[in-house]
Chain A
Amino acid sequence: DAGVIQSPRHEVTEMGQEVTLRCKPISGHNSLFWYRQTMMRGLELLIYFNNNVPIDDSGMPEDRFSAKMPNASFSTLKIQPSEPRDSAVYFCASRGGGREKLFFGSGTQLSVL
């Protein structure tokens, strides 16, 4: 199994541009999570999906952030327009049934200039 796959690995963009981060969860997993990691705030849960349906998006910082999961094998996190304070590492994680351990991708390092 290839694990959780995230792309791109690194993204450098200018303020105001749209950024789209992608995630492919582990096949057969039915829950998907997006986290953001910064030195100041640690690992923050942004949103999670169960069976492709968003369950809790209370961690999404602003309306500039949106996430979708059109099918069981793909999710996107979009920031429009991006701002320098969005610079962080964004992780996607997936989980099988129940409340078991999360499997994380390698993350996307986002830099907004």
Chain B
Amino acid sequence: GESVGLHLPTLSVQEGDNSIINCAYSNSASDYFIWYKQESGKGPQFIIDIRSNMDKRQGQRVTVLLNKTVKHLSLQIAATQPGDSAVYFCAETAAGGFKTIFGAGTRLFVKA
């Protein structure tokens, strides 16, 4: 396999606070990135994407930041809600390719 996740990082935040989830991607040739959310017992679901010609992209309550220099991606969730509790994965696709590779994931706990 191409994704290794030995210990899932965990982020615990208070309801209403902002959350920042980080991801270090592996392939400098990757040019398309997606954040997915996985709730218990379900498959990953698309949240937001960004292409390498952008540094930032905003959605509803979510923002993705891309730093190609250090191969770093982050997901910011504004006003975190209990329903945001899930595992979040970043995924990368290399330029000219179709294969999507997932990072290890981060578990987000939202305290009410």
A interface residue numbers (CB < 8 A to B): 4, 31, 33, 35-36, 39-46, 48, 50, 55-56, 59, 61, 91, 93, 99-107
Contact = CB atoms under 8 A, between A and B. Distances in A.
A43 B44 contact: yes
Contacts of A42: 3-5, 102-105
23 contacts: A4-B43, A33-B100, A35-B102, A36-B1, A39-B8, A41-B5, A42-B103, A43-B3, A43-B44, A43-B102, A45-B1, A45-B101, A48-B98, A55-B98, A59-B2, A91-B44, A99-B32, A100-B49, A101-B49, A102-B44, A102-B100, A106-B41, A106-B43
Given A33-B100, A43-B102, A45-B99, A91 B1 contact: no
B1 A56 contact: no
Contact of A105 (B2, B8, B43): B43
A16 B32 CA distance: 40
A39 B5 CA distance: 7
Nearest to A98: B98
Contacts of B99: 45, 48, 56
A34 B104 CA distance: 17
A101 B98 contact: no
Contacts, number: 73
Interface of B: 1-6, 8, 32, 34, 36, 41-46, 49, 89, 91, 93, 97-105
B104 to A, nearest CB: 5
Contacts of B43: 4, 91, 93, 104-107
A99 B4 contact: no
3 smallest CB-CB distances across A and B, nearest first, come from A44-B1, A104-B43, A42-B5
A107 B7 CA distance: 22
Contact of B1 (A39, A41, A106): A41
Contacts of B100: 33, 45, 99, 102
